[in-house]
Structure 1
Amino acid sequence: MLKFDLPTKIFLGKNCIKENTNVFSLGKKALIVTGRSSAKKNGSQSDVEAVLNSLNIDYAIFDQVKSNPDIPTVYKGAETAKAEHADFVIAIGGGSPMDAGKTIALLACQNIAPENIFSGSYQKKVLPMIHIPTTSGTGSEVTPYSILSNHKAQTKSTIATPLIFPTYALLDPAYQKDLPISITINTALDALSHNIESILSMKINPLIAQIAQSGIKQIGDCLTAMENNDLTEAVREKLQYGSLAGGIAIAHTGTNIVHSLGYSLTYFRDIDHGRANALTIAEYLNFIAKTAPEKVALILNDMKFDNISQFKAQIDRLLGKKEAFTAEELEKYTQIALKAKNINTSLRAPSESDVLSLYKNSLL
């Protein structure tokens, strides 16, 4: 059955904030959710503040979101929203501020105990949101997901509900002009994994497959440019589109094995989320190729690779020196990955030995 549902209205292009000021009239006071400094450095926050000031809309700032936000952070953000009487949220930054912004918007409207935050059982009350991504990776601006560090489970867990689709998404690649190469690579490979996992999901349909393929092609066109640190405006635009396509894709299919494997690498070893995904993605393709070789071949062809070995070689060059792991670590991570909700949603479900092999073949 073909299904497409995307309530978020998207504006993609240079100066999209300044040219669409009307979208900011969502309420009387905004809570700007962001990190410590990046939104200030790239100009996105000042552009938003200028628009709000021009519309005489008051705002408060919650800039305490760190990478991989946790449960205490979003509760603190929600308390700030309540104390400031904010009636809408503007999230600016990478996946962390956007994911945090979604949960803050939810918690600002209803009382949810921390132990029930991932339950999926929520009232239909949430603050409306505007999301402004300043990296090309998560696609969070168009998904119904908020991913948080879950210290009790020692992993990353997902809040998934259509309630947290942002109302508007404004994407301007110009904010990424000075984004460091390491962040550019990690976020791009995160977006690539979204598109690839979507195509290899049991939930894929022809429309979403076309969107995900378009994302793979755009990011594939940029792999060599990133390797050579040749980050032109055209490259930034392609990466932004690829990230958006990946977000739209996983909004319909979710992620699967690669993300399940990556959560522990991020939680226990503080490896960037996109890098964590990239570390296992080539072995993932080898694993899926045993069941769906034609789909894997299509993905490789979209990136102009003849085989998985060529793809792996370029990913390895982009990643550089890899982290060292012990067999004991990977056995621990295997048990955690097997409990992830998305581990069995790909075209081939992995056994315990498969998961361990994916880790070992990728990381040892």
Structure 2
Amino acid sequence: MKFTFQIPTKVYFEKNCITNHLEIFTYCGSRAAIVTGKHSAKASGALDDVTNVLKNAGIAYEVYDSVENNPSIETVEDITEKVKAFKANFIIGIGGGSPIDASKAIAVLAANEMHAADLFKNDFTKAFPVVAIPITSGTGSEVTPYSVLLRKDMETKVSFGNSLTYPAYALLDPGYTVSMNDKTTVSTLIDAFTHVMEGYLAKRSTIFSTMMSLEGMKTFAECIPGLKSKKYDYNFREKAAYVSLMGGLVIAQTGVTLPHGLGYCYTYFHQIPHGIANGLFVREYLKRCETTVKEKVDVVLKLLGENSVDSFGDTLEQLIGKPPKLDQEQIEQYAKLSLLQAGSISNTPFELSEEDIARVWEKQNDHAE
């Protein structure tokens, strides 16, 4: 038996965890840059809780609320200049994966003299501490080193991250996710599911990551009735936040696989939310996995209470809809762009050529609108 495991982030999972743990902010620094989006942090109550705690602790702060869905390196560079001018010495990311991913990038750029495009070399030796406060249940970014940014020059999303980009603290209060609308609730939870599922099937999976994957998939199955009925009580929100946490812990060890690598094209060209974009590939992905790791696919289906890949594919289709119809030019373009996601492709438990990837895109049309 041989495996490695790293999670330097200290995690608090509880109601009122921000106000209950004021001390962690004082540990991080004296001047805080709060990085978030325009609306959700305020609507969830998390932003007010953070600013109240910072005031009580005597910590100076500024709020930078310009992070968009799928943050671009241009946005990250713009906020970094403001953070440097304020002389912040730690970052607080409030939001879904986008603000937290942006926070990691800003934490590196603000601590170093470098261009944003150089982040993807992973060649830096310092970063400011990050306090991650998720208000969605999806990315698990609060416990991973990864930051995924939009590269307009490449027409896709690209990630970076190393041991320095793990958040110092993750504060998870399921109550902050209550303000999510239905579409975001579904999309983010499907993202969390794909993390635990892909991590379980990944070449880099270990006996330790497998324990968390199995737990995450079992808990996701308990959330499916709530997703179908759209009845999101606190118990549902707590379980969804737990699945998201498990997903982050898993992919921090295993990385992701084909659905993530291909899903970026749906997000970039069709504005399909990240989690739904991943979910649209699950049917075809699991069918292909049956040819190489069938025993694992059988475990996935058993945990989900499904008797076949197609039955689960139908369940997902009920929740997230059908993929868009693609023409041949789009299929060829997306296949080439998907090759840029070399890490996800190499981590997939079957071999993939460019022609194989094109066939996966072609198969999407079998279930398209």
- CA distance in 2 between partners of 1:40 and 1:169 (Å): 18
Q: Which moved more, 1:341-350 or 1:100-109?
A: 341-350
Correspondence for 1:81: 83
- CA distance in 2 between partners of 1:194 and 1:100 (Å): 20
In the TM superposition, what is the alpha-carbon distance from 1:151 to its structure 2 partner? 1.2
Q: Which moved more, 1:65-74 or 1:354-363?
A: 354-363
Correspondence for 1:142: 143
- CA distance in 2 between partners of 1:68 and 1:116 (Å): 18
Correspondence for 1:318: 319
- CA distance in 1 between partners of 2:185 and 2:359 (Å): 29
In the TM superposition, what is the alpha-carbon distance from 1:69 to its structure 2 partner? 0.3
Identity %: 37
Correspondence for 1:189: 190
In the TM superposition, what is the alpha-carbon distance from 1:339 to its structure 2 partner? 2.4
Q: Does 1:62 align with 2:50?
A: no
- CA distance in 2 between partners of 1:95 and 1:113 (Å): 22
In the TM superposition, what is the alpha-carbon distance from 1:187 to its structure 2 partner? 0.4
Q: Which amino acid aligns with 1:96?
A: S
Correspondence for 1:221: 222
Q: Does 1:175 align with 2:176?
A: yes
SS at match of 2:350: coil
Structure in which a larger fraction of residues adopt helix: 2
In structure 2, do the counterparts of structure 1 residues 166 and 110 end up closer, same or farther at CA, with 3 Å as the change threshold? same
TM norm structure 1: 0.97
Instruction: Give the conservation status (yes or no) of the 8 Å contact 2:17–2:171.
Output: yes
Q: Any idea what the Cα deviations from partners look like across 1:224-247, whole Å, max 9, x if unmatched?
A: 211110111111111100000000
1:10-29 correspondence runs (5 A): 10-25=11-26, 26-29=28-31
- CA distance in 2 between partners of 1:87 and 1:105 (Å): 9
Q: Any idea what the Cα deviations from partners look like across 1:267-303, whole Å, max 9, x if unmatched?
A: 1111111110011111100011100000011111111
Q: Does 1:301 align with 2:274?
A: no
Of the three residues 99, 102, 105, the one matched with 2:101 is 99
SS at match of 1:18: helix
Q: Which amino acid aligns with 2:265?
A: S
Of the three residues 332, 353, 356, the one matched with 2:355 is 353
Correspondence for 1:230: 231
- CA distance in 2 between partners of 1:109 and 1:241 (Å): 32
- CA distance in 2 between partners of 1:184 and 1:46 (Å): 22
Correspondence for 2:280: 279
In the TM superposition, what is the alpha-carbon distance from 1:321 to its structure 2 partner? 4.9
SS at match of 1:177: helix
- CA distance in 2 between partners of 1:203 and 1:79 (Å): 37
Q: Does 1:154 align with 2:155?
A: yes
In the TM superposition, what is the alpha-carbon distance from 1:106 to its structure 2 partner? 0.4
Q: Any idea what the Cα deviations from partners look like across 1:26-79, whole Å, max 9, x if unmatched?
A: 111100000001100110000001111111111011100000000111111111
In the TM superposition, what is the alpha-carbon distance from 1:199 to its structure 2 partner? 0.7
Show structure 2 runs of 5+ residues with no match. none
Correspondence for 1:126: 127
Instruction: Give the conservation status (yes or no) of the 8 Å contact 2:280–2:322.
Output: no
Q: Does 1:288 align with 2:289?
A: yes
Instruction: Give the conservation status (yes or no) of the 8 Å contact 2:40–2:95.
Output: yes
- CA distance in 2 between partners of 1:359 and 1:233 (Å): 38
Q: Any idea what the Cα deviations from partners look like across 1:188-236, whole Å, max 9, x if unmatched?
A: 0111111111011111111110101111111121112111101111111
- CA distance in 2 between partners of 1:308 and 1:347 (Å): 17
Supply the RMSD in Å over aligned alpha carbons.
Answer: 1.1
SS at match of 1:349: coil
- CA distance in 1 between partners of 2:282 and 2:131 (Å): 31
Instruction: Give the conservation status (yes or no) of the 8 Å contact 2:105–2:119.
Output: no
Q: Which amino acid aligns with 1:357?
A: R
Aligned length: 363
Q: Point out 4+ residue stretches in structure 1 off by more than 3 angstroms.
A: none
Instruction: Give the conservation status (yes or no) of the 8 Å contact 2:34–2:63.
Output: yes
Correspondence for 1:338: 339
Q: Which amino acid aligns with 1:166?
A: P
SS at match of 1:97: helix
SS at match of 2:170: strand
In the TM superposition, what is the alpha-carbon distance from 1:110 to its structure 2 partner? 0.7
SS at match of 1:203: coil
Q: Any idea what the Cα deviations from partners look like across 1:168-201, whole Å, max 9, x if unmatched?
A: 0000110111211110000001111111110111
SS at match of 1:117: helix
Show structure 1 runs of 5+ residues with no match. none
Of the three residues 22, 43, 46, the one matched with 2:45 is 43
Correspondence for 1:206: 207
In the TM superposition, what is the alpha-carbon distance from 1:80 to its structure 2 partner? 1.2
